[in-house]
Amino acid sequence: MNKIENRTYDETYYEEVLANGLDVVVWHKPDYTTTSCIFAAPYGSLDMDQKDDQGNAYHFPSGIAHFLEHKLFESDHGDVMSDFSRMGANVNAFTSFQETCYYFDTAAGDIREPLNLLLDFVQDLSITDASVEKEKGIINQELAMYLQMPDSRMMFETFRSMYRNHPLKYDIGGCEQTVNSITKPLLEQCYAINYHPANMMCVIVTPADPDEVMAIVRENQAKKTFGSAHKVKRFCEPEPLEVVKEVCEIPMDVSETKACVGIKIPVIAESDEMRVSRDWAAKMTLDSWFSSMNPQYQTWLDRKLITPYFSYEEDFGRDYSLMLFYDEAQDPEAFRQFVIEQLDACLQAEIRTEDLDLMKKRAIGSNLHLFNAPSDISVAFFRNRMNGVSLFENFRIIEDLTPESCAALMRSLDVSRRTLTIIRKG
């Protein structure tokens, strides 16, 4: 078991890769009373097409990662959630584009029982054809509900308008057609490939003795046998530069018309560190221009070019890059023109040193704040590891940003390919 200390931030964690390949991290918080644990697979809704280290290719229907999350909460031993409640622990799970995480939180002093239960139920897929068919109806009802939510629908339609091949065009839960195509053999194959211990990570943030916690996990895993492990990676069909649809309009029962401008940015092949640097540079550049830090912001509000609901985000993944701008907009075309003009001006400007210093302090402060919440530490550690840059390396990347480096990173972006999604009162 390796001990990793960060004296700058006074944080210590222990890490060990077990014989079966499971990566276990015990983050020691001796002054805390709460334990938070996640058992996570770097397998999300985007991982529909995969290749393993033997050259084998796999294709799964969209929504299967979310479907697996649902099915793992079924157990031959009873109601998993009730079992955790009896132990004084809260359990839940979530599926995102990149990951599926199962987690519990507890203030109980002895974590042996809930920790063993988490490891056991995630590592035991017990399903029948009948239970799979029953689940399809439940998931399809959930998907239908999301399609009636304006903000969710707007995001989904924006991605569909932007991407022709990339799996971002699919909802995390899939659609009725793909959900109905999921079978017991497909779920079992997907599970065997992606839920092998060698492809997963367990992160435990706890006041308990790290040696004792690691011993619990070792003992649990030593009792189980697993097949051969194969490292798997997502692969995507080549994505055209052009967007699929420049304008998409959906009538819905909304009080105000909503609009989203999606910017499809060509992916730049670069190291994980450079990609994360670019993401931070984009975030801070957009914040400097499209927030109240910009003296023009109040003028935009006064002239009704934007409303108080105006927002934006950026995301630079290994196989996709994008920006989104959204707002309530009575005139969506005018909103699109506003975004285009201001984004062009933003990318040609340079952040003022004092503004960048302020944003860097905010970003570092926000990241430091997560050290106060065990559940935040566990999720952030896993996500940063998946992203190829450690939690602490993130701090250095932020600190190293300068107005000049931000400008250089941003000016290399091609933001000329855009979509407009409109949720219209109808």
Is a pLDDT exceeding 90 seen at residue 108?
no
Q: How many CA atoms lie within 13 A of 198 on its CB side?
A: 15
Bridge partners of residue 38, in order along the sequence: 103, 203
Tokens 């990173």 -> residue: 409
- pLDDT tens-digit readout, 311-335: 999 999 999 999 999 999 999 999 9
Closest CA to 289 of 124, 403, 123: 403
Q: What is the pLDDT of residues 113-157, one digit of tens each?
A: 999 999 999 999 999 999 999 999 999 999 999 889 999 999 999
Mean pLDDT, rounded, for 336-342 = 98
* The pairing of beta strand 201-206 with beta strand 232-234: unpaired
CATH code that applies to domain 2-234: 3.30.830.10
Domains 2-234 and 247-425 share a fold: yes
Which of 338, 118, 137, 153 shows the shortest CA–CA distance to 254?
153
Banded model confidence at residue 175, pLDDT cuts 50, 70, 90: very high
Domain extents for the chain?
Answer: 2-234, 247-425
Q: What are phi and psi of 377, to 5 degrees?
A: -60, -50
pLDDT, position 75: 62
C-alpha span between 323 and 327 (Å, rounded): 14
CATH class of 247-425: alpha beta
DSSP states along 258-292: EEEEEEE-PPPP--HHHHHHHHHHHHHHHHHHHST
